[in-house]
Structure 1
Amino acid sequence: MHVVATAGHVDHGKSTLVRALTGMEPDRWDEEHRRGLTIDLGFAWTELPSAGTLAFVDVPGHHRFVPNMLAGVGPVPAVLFVVAADEGWMPQSAEHLDAAHALGVWHGLLAITRSDLADPAPAAAEALAEINETTLGDVAAIPVSAPTGSGLDDLVTALDDLAGRLPQPDVDAPVRLWVDRSFTIRGSGTVVTGTLPAGRLRVGDELEIPSLGRTAGVRALQCLGRPVTEAGAVARVAVNLRGVPADALHRGDAVLTPQRFRTSDVLDARLDRTGDDPLPQHLMLHIGSAAVTARVRPLGSDTVRLTLSGALPLRVGDRGLLREPGRHRVLGGTTVLDVAPPALTRRGAAAERARILSTLDGEPDEHSELRRRGIVRKDELKRMGVPVTSRPVAAGWVVDEKLWAELRSRLPDVVARWRQANPLETGPPVDVVRQQLDLPERSLVHALVSPPLAIRAGRVVRDDTAQVDHLPAPVAKAVDELRARLAAEPLVAPDATQLAELGLGRRELAAADRAGVLVRIGDGVVLLPESIDEAVRTLRTLSGPFTVSDARQAWGTTRRVAIPLLQYLDRHEITERLPDDRRQLR
């Protein structure tokens, strides 16, 4: 299917033309027929000779209904611009053309209606001169008369040619359907309609509704009034959503493929202006079918920061326009450059931001985003519309290669400086390293650490020397003396007095324990790590469950050592305490 918007004319010239082309009535409201004026969006469709189905979104022309017009033009790829031969170029024609240009509509066609009432050549020449200066460029002009049928065959041929030249949509892209109508059907629930510019919808799909903060299933689909099980872009679709309350959705809302879009109320954009008047502080941003108030902060000569009155699901490269409703004028088109911009809090931050934005073109680029953001989640980039090929370094995080190399080079210095300030510690805790390197998550520290560094007991330590070498010299000497004593009688732990004589207080013993050269099995009770393994081997020689006394005698030690040693083995699930207070090896 192909979709075009019919725009440019203020009265029923457009609607009459659409009716003649399709045999359908695009004006849906009695008031439109009574006033002879298109007020809201109308929809109709026809079959082309070779290009298939063509759907029309008939938009209102009067300046009072420009917001409705923009909701219809926003999501479509082409426009059928309509000018009456007996009226020529009109003020609303200029505003409609400004809108199409601002939105970056590249494909179009000019129809000169009511050609039976006046010579179409002057109106065509004037309109083509205006259109040629916009993104539509050089378009074909077809004189027609809906009442007489003159020129309709030529217009159908031109539309067929236009449809055949439209770019192929990406049917594998995530769905973002901007809602242009929402209504309820008794027994079915809420139905929303819109132009699907990319992606594919299926009955049973689960769609995200950001304005409601929830998802909803697709109960049924229609495409041009016919029930379907699947609809691919580009298409006019009606989506029956399961479990959505009546009046919960409105024009300007969107339904999305879950977790593929980032909802944002602050964005940086490039503004393509036609004039150089000072920008008003508040304007209307039109994007898709949405219209929200935007506070405008100029950054550079052609870039702005927009703070929106409501969050929208946006991606890098999205096109919109800024309009000043009070003066009925389009100020220019916007290209979204960043949907997650940094706060501008420091002196000079705005100027620096303008410099960075001047290097962006609105094309989503992974390397550019990583260079500016440094570290970001892969899924977050995808939500911004940035294709990602880099392999995550940890837990979904992707990192700029230059920054990652810099972090690796800084890590040893961070560890060394921390140990110098804390000589009784083997190394800084992982979270301290995370803060020192300004990393968002501890998993990134784990990914950074490589030999000769290692992570032990939640700390980053050097792994290329004996653990005792991590201790200050006086403590290392005292530990060596203690190890010599324990080597002779491994399970006869020194008491507090003996430890004090060696200069081993609580802090020193804790440091030796962290270094792995001693094991604190209880308050003031320390053993060699290898003594623990020897104690377990001794227990394996006992037959069946054993008591504390059995273990103590087998070990040749005192209850002061035996009881905390058994409790240590219980905690490490090496032994199991039975209901009768005996134990057994697991």
Structure 2
Amino acid sequence: PQTEEHFEICRLLGVKQGIIVITKKDMVDEEWLEMVTEEVREYCEGSFLEEAPLVHVSSISGEGIDTVRDLLDSFVSAQQFNEVHGPFRLPVDRIFAIKGFGSVITGTSMSGRVGIGDELCFYPKEMVAKVRGIQVHSSDVETVEAGHRTAINLQGVDTAEISRGMVAATPGSLQPGYMLDCDFLYLATNKKALKHRARVRVHLGTAEIMGRISLLDRDLLQPGDTAGIQILLEEAVAVWPGDHYVVRSYSPVATIGGGAILGNNPPRKRKRLSESDRKENENTFDILLDSNVEEKILLFLRERGTLGLTFDELAVRLGTFGKQLKKIISAPLSSRKIVVVDST
């Protein structure tokens, strides 16, 4: 059951590649090994592991271990981290102090890069500290990029002020909020329908936060169904659209679903009763699911009304920054679909 749950979590987190390893080969005969291999292949049909390499391993003889290591090396070498040049983000998983050095955090760098002397903001508290030192796999480095397990020595902050689940990021790159618009898959393995406003455990990065699922177009969500939902959180979070999340039931604790975040600071959406109102929610989620960035910009501006959005606020809503965002907004600016108002 635990392996099946972990497999579902990989799907919910958007994992697209992997290796199937069947261990303890030395403990069974060839006929049994062949039968297990066939069962595993059947189980993985239709998933991201359907065409994955499959390796039989024995920790006693060492057979297959070099093959696994080579496959992992080839996978890592082929990865393209498109977020390397954007803002830095690292969900904190451990915090401790080293005598003579001060506070240290560890985690996996999700995007961007950071160097010694740079400032990091800890969200959702929005507390700023300076990077004093960096280690990757126990080696000192000057900078670190996306995709690395990282330890960062900090100056100007105490360990008591930081907790697991916070995100260390480039200042101004995130905005805390209590509501998320999401694409949600309610796993087919669930035994009963999910009720509107069900209380759940939401896992984002390294954080676990209590919240409620607002079903915007129905009273019940059946196992195996997908829907656009709004998650109402009991604590603030700071995320980008495209980040993945996992939902576990309140009690007993079990993984029930998850998906991708579509809107990271949306207005409150109430359950719609009339057909026209429900259509409004459907149109919103159609835009959020679409890859047309211009339509998303217009949606976010409509949601804000006369308050509008600053360049930095729009960047956080889109998860797109700097020159890339300037290039994106050039077309709607030229066509006068959006206008810039000088507030000074």
TM score, norm. by length of structure 2: 0.82
Q: Which residue of 1 aligns with 2:263?
A: 338
User: Quick check: 1:141 aligned with 2:54?
Assistant: yes
Query: Where does 1:167-566 land on structure 2 (aligned, <5 Å)?
Result: 167-275=80-188, 277-280=192-195, 281-300=198-217, 302-324=227-249, 326-344=251-269, 349=277, 352-361=280-289, 363=291, 365-374=293-302, 375-384=308-317, 385-386=319-320, 387-389=325-327, 390=329, 401-402=336-337, 443=342
Is this contact kept in 2: 1:189–1:243, CA < 8 A?
Answer: no
- CA drift of 1:370 comes to 1.8
Q: Name the CA shift for 1:327/1:347 in 2 (closer, same or farther; >3 Å).
A: closer
Query: Where does 1:67-82 land on structure 2 (aligned, <5 Å)?
Result: none
Is this contact kept in 2: 1:183–1:247, CA < 8 A?
Answer: no
- CA drift of 1:351 comes to 5.1
Q: Which residue of 2 aligns with 1:109?
A: 19
- CA drift of 1:241 comes to 1.1
Q: Deviations over 1:454-510 (max 9, x none)?
A: xxxxxxxxxxxxxxxxxxxxxxxxxxxxxxxxxxxxxxxxxxxxxxxxxxxxxxxxx
2:5 pairs, out of 95, 103, 123, with: 95
- Aligned equivalents of 1:259, 1:102: Cα separation in 2: 28
- Aligned equivalents of 1:364, 1:295: Cα separation in 2: 29
| Secondary structure of residue in 2 paired with 1:335 | strand
- CA drift of 1:355 comes to 3.2
| Secondary structure of residue in 2 paired with 1:333 | strand
- Could you tell me which amino acid in structure 1 is paired with residue 315 of structure 2? K
- Aligned equivalents of 1:220, 1:372: Cα separation in 2: 39
- Could you tell me which amino acid in structure 2 is paired with residue 377 of structure 1? T
Q: Name the CA shift for 1:92/1:318 in 2 (closer, same or farther; >3 Å).
A: same
- Aligned equivalents of 2:293, 2:4: Cα separation in 1: 35
| Secondary structure of residue in 1 paired with 2:315 | helix
Q: Name the CA shift for 1:334/1:134 in 2 (closer, same or farther; >3 Å).
A: same
- Aligned equivalents of 1:350, 1:239: Cα separation in 2: 47
- Aligned equivalents of 1:190, 1:158: Cα separation in 2: 36
- CA drift of 1:335 comes to 1.3
Q: Name the CA shift for 1:337/1:173 in 2 (closer, same or farther; >3 Å).
A: same
Q: Deviations over 1:274-323 (max 9, x none)?
A: 33842250111112111111211012461111011211111111111212
Is this contact kept in 2: 1:97–1:131, CA < 8 A?
Answer: no
| Secondary structure of residue in 1 paired with 2:75 | helix
- CA drift of 1:443 comes to 4.3
- CA drift of 1:392 comes to 11
- CA drift of 1:251 comes to 1.9
Q: Deviations over 1:355-400 (max 9, x none)?
A: 321343165824422245244222111112143432599xxxx799
- CA drift of 1:266 comes to 0.4
Is this contact kept in 1: 2:23–2:58, CA < 8 A?
Answer: yes
More helix by share: 1
- Could you tell me which amino acid in structure 2 is paired with residue 102 of structure 1? L
Is this contact kept in 1: 2:44–2:50, CA < 8 A?
Answer: yes
| Secondary structure of residue in 2 paired with 1:156 | helix
- CA drift of 1:128 comes to 2.8
Is this contact kept in 2: 1:265–1:311, CA < 8 A?
Answer: yes
- Aligned equivalents of 2:83, 2:264: Cα separation in 1: 22
- CA drift of 1:148 comes to 1.8
Q: Name the CA shift for 1:189/1:392 in 2 (closer, same or farther; >3 Å).
A: farther
| Secondary structure of residue in 2 paired with 1:168 | coil
* Structure 1 spans left out of the alignment, 5+ residues: 1-90, 405-440, 447-586
CA RMSD after TM alignment: 2.8
- CA drift of 1:249 comes to 1.8
Is this contact kept in 2: 1:169–1:234, CA < 8 A?
Answer: no
Is this contact kept in 1: 2:179–2:268, CA < 8 A?
Answer: no
- Aligned equivalents of 1:125, 1:247: Cα separation in 2: 51
- Aligned equivalents of 1:278, 1:401: Cα separation in 2: 46
TM score, norm. by length of structure 1: 0.50
Is this contact kept in 2: 1:191–1:240, CA < 8 A?
Answer: yes
Q: Name the CA shift for 1:399/1:298 in 2 (closer, same or farther; >3 Å).
A: farther
- Could you tell me which amino acid in structure 1 is paired with residue 81 of structure 2? Q
Q: Which has the larger radius of gyration?
A: 1
Query: Where does 1:113-128 land on structure 2 (aligned, <5 Å)?
Result: 113-118=23-28, 119-128=32-41
- Aligned equivalents of 2:126, 2:35: Cα separation in 1: 53
| Secondary structure of residue in 2 paired with 1:326 | coil
- Matched pairs, number: 315
Is this contact kept in 1: 2:90–2:169, CA < 8 A?
Answer: yes
Is this contact kept in 2: 1:112–1:141, CA < 8 A?
Answer: yes
- CA drift of 1:267 comes to 1.0
- Aligned equivalents of 1:372, 1:217: Cα separation in 2: 33
- Aligned equivalents of 1:308, 1:362: Cα separation in 2: 25
Q: Name the CA shift for 1:185/1:328 in 2 (closer, same or farther; >3 Å).
A: same
- Aligned equivalents of 1:211, 1:258: Cα separation in 2: 11
- CA drift of 1:442 comes to 7.9
- CA drift of 1:191 comes to 0.7
